[in-house]
Amino acid sequence: MVHSIVPLAVLEAVKNLDTPVEDGLSEFADELLVKRLGLSTTVQMQLAEFEQLVRKDARVEPSHVEALLRLVGRRPDADLVFADAGRRAARRAVRRMSGMSRFAAQRAPRLFGHAAARRAAKAVLGAELGREQRLPVARVSDPIAIQATPDGSACAFYGAGLVELLRLLVGYEGAMLHVTCRARGGSACEWRAAGPDPRHQ
């Protein structure tokens, strides 16, 4: 089962990217609304449904999430949707934590932040987050992203989510490189923090 935060975050990202900007073209708004998935009544209903499930900290069938990821993967802006969705999922994962856990992570990120990020990554993203040589490393064994997008584009959701979790809970301001991917024959998807730039030491 997949945490309901995942499909909610994806749909929120779709809606966000499909919402027209204030560009003076309001006379075309009705035509745009018909063509934009994120502004459809179906998506509005699904958003409300997943919002209720998130409030209950519920999980959903993987097949539903896989179908949603596959649908997004067909969009020309899929990379933007997945990146935005990953960040949204991470922010919701932090909000679902207890106030004490958030407070401890903020006060002592090195001491408590990594443990909080590890728990949130496991609970919401299904990722195993740890550290090797003091740098973050994460693995996702669930093949749902590759089943939905065989080219691996949905993996961007997890990469963005992991970076945002680390930023919020540990104060990490770096990149996570997708060094191993099921799409390229790996047994699992793996992200590793980019090592510190020697020019900045």
Query: Using CA of residue 112, residue 114, residue 115, residue 116, what is the dihedral sign?
Result: positive
2-200 is classed in which CATH architecture? Alpha-Beta Complex (3.90)
- The answer to which of 64-78, 152-166, 184-198 has the lowest mean pLDDT is 184-198
Give the start-to-end residue ranges of the domains of the chain: 2-200
Percent of the chain predicted with pLDDT > 70: 87
Beta bridge partner(s), residue 136:
131
pTM here is: 0.88
Q: Which residues contact 169 (CB under 8 A, 6 or more apart)?
A: 94, 105, 109, 113, 114, 116, 117, 120
User: 25 pLDDT exceeds 90?
Assistant: no
Q: How far apart are the C-alpha atoms of 96 and 123, rounded to whole Å?
A: 10
pLDDT greater than 60 at residue 42:
yes
DSSP structural state of residue 122: I
pLDDT at 75 exceeding the cut of 90: yes
pLDDT one-digit tens code per residue, 79-127 = 999 999 999 999 999 999 998 888 888 888 878 999 999 999 999 999 9
Query: Which residue bears the tokens 């929120």?
Result: 12
User: Tell me: the pLDDT tens digits for 125-166?
Assistant: 999 999 998 899 999 999 999 999 999 999 999 999 999 999
